Amino acid sequence: MQGTIFEERLAGAFKKALQSGTVAISTLATGSQTKDRYGREPVLILTRNEVVQLYLLRAGLTRFVGFPGMAGEAVRASFLEAEEEARSTEAGLWKDPRYSVFSAETAPERDGFAIVEGKPIGTAHTRSMVYLNFGEDWRTDFTAAIEPGLLKTDAWAGWDIDALVGRKLRLRGWMRPYNGAFMTLTGPDQIEILTSGPAD
């Protein structure tokens, strides 16, 4: 399987980077939400004064998944820039269509991480979820969702989900088949706002 080949290349490159010199680790999260749902805390790994994650992103061996807290816009921008560099040259996994940036219309109905671009046409607020709907039929179209409790945390301070309607977004997160392709959002670092509004 191609996915296994990339995983082996990533593991090998990561191991090689860690063995190339003294390793320094510094935490990234600064808000009240410092860990993801699996208890992992985001860190920067440096060796020979180079951030290992940026090296892996530029080589096309991994993708930026977002941070579970507020890591700082400058750090986030550097990760996204490194990923874009690899994507523009089709380095590593970007040669494989399964790892491409999908449109809302082609978002995969499968379990796993994906990056999807599109314009939400509306939102829906329920007790259990806030939904971003990307099509007229929520039963079949791509949808992204956020738990309302998360929107009350420091990480989401200043965000108005309803204001995202009509703006072109690039979302990254874990997918599953649920009334079409469904993505769960846990932090604002999973959202890139690509246009300012419907007129763009």
160-179: average pLDDT: 96
Pick the CATH number of 2-94 from 3.30.470.20, 3.30.2010.10, 2.40.50.90, 2.40.50.140: 2.40.50.90
> Does 194 have pLDDT greater than 70?
yes
Residue 74 pLDDT: 82
Using 50, 70 and 90 to split pLDDT, how confident is the model at 13?
A: confident
- The CA–CA distances, whole Å, from 191 to 76, 115, 118, 153 equal 11, 10, 11, 16
163 or 48, which is more confident? 163
**Can you give the pLDDT at residue 33?**
56
Under the banding of pLDDT at 50, 70 and 90, the label for residue 5 is low
What does the pLDDT average to over 145-155? 91
Rounded to two decimals, the pTM is 0.83
Res 2 pLDDT > 60: no
pLDDT of residue 107: 96
For the chain, the average pLDDT equals: 85
Q: Is 97 helix (H, G, I), strand (E, B) or coil?
A: helix
Question: Is the confidence at residue 199, as pLDDT, over 70?
Answer: no
Domain ranges of the chain: 2-94, 101-193
User: How much is the average pLDDT of 128-132?
Assistant: 97
Tens digits of residue pLDDT in 55-79: 889 999 989 988 755 567 788 899 9
CATH homologous superfamily, domain 101-193: Nucleic acid-binding proteins (2.40.50.140)
2-94 matches 101-193 in fold: yes
Helix (H, G, I), strand (E, B) or coil at 189: helix
* Residue bearing tokens 């246009």: 195
Strands 122-125 and 112-118 come out as: unpaired
